[in-house]
C-alpha cells in the first residue's frame, strides 16, 4: 500500500462510519443481512486506497483466519506497517497499565518511538521498562487495590496533564486449565482474574475521570480478548474449560460497552480491543500453536493496537474490534 495522508487514514483506512453502521445493524438484524451491507459499503468506498475485506466479522477459527490472510496476502494482517501511521501519536500523552512486561511493555516502547509521552503504570518496574526511560513511571499501582487508585490520582494531579489515551493493558491468565471434569477448578483464582481483567480496568478509568486526567477528546482502551466472545465459544472452546479467563473477558467486554455508552456524552471514545495472538509469557502455554495460528511478536501486536487507537473515534466507540484484522468480533 502506498503511504497516504493523515486524512486518508482517518477516512478510508479506518472506515469508521461504515464499521459503526454495520455494527449497529448487525446487532438488530444479525450477520446475514449486514454481511451483504458490508460488501456493498466496501464496494462503494471508491476513494479508498486500502483494501477492506467484505467480511463483516472476523473469523472465529484462528488457524483458518491466519491461513486465509497468508493465502490472500492480506497486508493489514501480515504487514501492519503498511497501514500504521506513527506520526498520528506524536506528542500525545498515553497512559499504559501493566507497562513493565509483555504487551504493556511493547506498547510503551512502540508509543515512545512514535513520539508519545508515556505514563507507565505497574506494580513494580522491570529493568526493561526502566531502561526505556518513559516520560513517567508510576509504581505501586495494583489494579485490584482501591488505595492504589488514590495514589494514581495524586501522581496525576502532580503532573497536571490531560491524558489523550488510556490503555488498560494489565492482565492475568492462570497457567492451569480449569475443568469441571478434570477436577481443576479454582474459584478464588477466578475471582482474582475477574478483578484484574475487568474490575481493574474500571477502577483505573474511574480514577482517571475523578482526577480530571481524561476529558472530552480523550480515548480509553480496554484490552480484552476474543476469549470474551460468548458466540465464539462454540468454535474456540468446544470442550469448555478455562472458566476464569473467559468469564473475566466477557465481563470486561460488558464493562467496556457500558463505559462507551456512559462516556459518549462527555466526548470520550472507548475501544474494546482483542489485541491479537501475541507471543508473550502469558500465552506461552500455547507455544505449540503459535506459528500455525499466526501469533506475532509483541512489538507487532503493539503496532496493531496503536493503529486501532488512531482509528478509534466517537463513531466507533463501543465496538469490539479484532486488532489482527480491524474486523468486528461478536459479543
185-244, pLDDT tens digit by residue?
Answer: 999 999 999 999 999 999 999 999 999 999 999 999 999 999 999 999 999 999 999 999
Q: What is the mean pLDDT of each run of 10 residues along the chain (331 residues)?
A: 34 51 52 44 36 67 95 96 97 98 97 98 98 98 97 96 97 91 97 98 98 96 98 96 97 98 98 93 78 89 98 97 97 97
Output phi, psi for 269, to 5 deg: -85, 140
Q: For residue 13, give the C-alpha cell.
A: 483506512
Q: Count CA within 13 A, CB hemisphere, residue 144.
A: 10
Beta strands in the chain (DSSP E): 93-96, 117-121, 136-138, 165-168, 219-223, 269-274, 320-322
Q: For residue 204, give the C-alpha cell.
A: 483505573
Instruction: Sort strands 117-121 and 219-223 into parallel, antiparallel or unpaired.
Output: unpaired
Which residues is 95 bridged to in the sheet?
119, 166
Rg (CA), the chain: 19
pLDDT number for residue 298: 95
SS3 state of residue 28: helix
Cell 515512545 appears where? Answer: 112
Other CB atoms within 10 Å distance of the CB of residue 297: 12
pLDDT number for residue 25: 53
pLDDT number for residue 301: 97
DSSP 42-78: HHH-TT-SSPPPS-SB--S-HHHHHHHHHHTT-HHHH
Residues 6+ apart with CB under 8 A from 50: 1, 4, 12, 13, 76, 83
Distance linking the first and last C-alpha atoms of the chain: 31
pLDDT number for residue 289: 81
With residue 33 as reference, give the H or E element that holds it: helix 31-44
pLDDT number for residue 21: 55
36-52, pLDDT tens digit by residue?
Answer: 444 444 433 333 333 33
The model's pTM: 0.84
Amino acid at each position: 500500500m502506498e503511504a497516504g495522508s493523515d486524512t486518508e487514514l482517518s477516512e478510508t483506512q479506518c472506515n469508521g462510519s461504515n464499521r459503526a453502521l454495520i455494527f449497529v445493524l448487525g446487532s438488530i438484524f444479525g450477520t446475514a443481512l449486514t454481511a451483504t451491507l458490508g460488501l456493498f459499503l466496501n464496494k462503494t468506498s471508491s476513494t479508498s486506497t486500502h483494501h477492506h475485506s467484505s467480511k463483516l466479522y472476523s473469523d472465529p477459527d484462528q488457524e483458518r483466519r491466519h491461513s486465509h490472510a497468508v493465502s490472500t496476502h492480506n497486508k493489514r494482517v501480515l504487514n501492519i506497517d503498511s497501514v500504521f501511521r506513527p506520526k498520528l501519536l506524536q506528542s500525545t500523552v498515553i497512559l499504559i497499565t501493566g507497562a513493565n512486561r509483555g504487551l504493556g511493555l511493547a506498547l510503551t516502547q512502540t508509543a515512545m518511538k512514535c513520539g508519545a509521552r508515556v505514563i507507565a503504570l505497574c506494580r513494580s518496574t522491570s529493568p526493561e521498562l526502566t531502561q526505556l526511560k518513559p516520560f513517567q513511571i508510576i509504581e505501586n499501582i495494583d489494579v485490584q487495590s482501591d488505595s492504589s487508585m488514590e495514589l494514581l490520582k495524586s501522581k496525576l494531579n502532580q503532573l497536571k496533564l490531560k491524558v489523550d489515551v488510556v490503555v488498560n493493558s494489565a492482565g492475568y491468565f492462570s497457567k492451569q486449565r480449569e475443568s469441571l471434569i478434570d477436577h481443576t477448578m479454582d474459584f478464588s483464582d477466578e475471582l482474582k482474574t475477574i478483578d484484574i481483567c475487568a474490575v481493574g480496568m474500571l477502577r483505573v478509568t474511574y480514577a482517571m475521570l475523578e482526577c480530571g486526567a481524561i476529558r472530552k477528546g480523550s480515548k480509553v482502551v480496554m484490552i480484552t480478548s476474543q476469549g470474551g466472545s460468548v458466540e465464539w465459544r462454540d468454535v474456540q472452546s468446544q470442550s469448555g474449560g478455562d472458566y476464569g479467563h473467559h468469564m473475566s473477558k466477557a465481563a470486561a467486554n460488558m464493562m467496556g460497552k457500558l463505559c462507551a455508552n456512559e462516556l459518549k456524552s462527555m466526548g470520550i471514545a472507548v475501544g474494546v480491543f482483542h489485541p491479537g495472538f501475541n507471543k508473550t509469557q502469558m500465552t506461552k502455554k500455547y507455544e505449540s500453536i503459535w506459528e500455525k495460528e499466526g501469533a506475532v511478536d509483541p512489538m507487532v501486536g503493539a503496532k496493531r493496537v496503536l493503529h486501532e487507537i488512531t482509528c478509534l473515534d466517537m463513531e466507533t466507540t463501543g465496538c469490539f474490534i479484532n486488532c489482527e484484522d480491524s474486523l468486528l468480533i461478536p459479543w
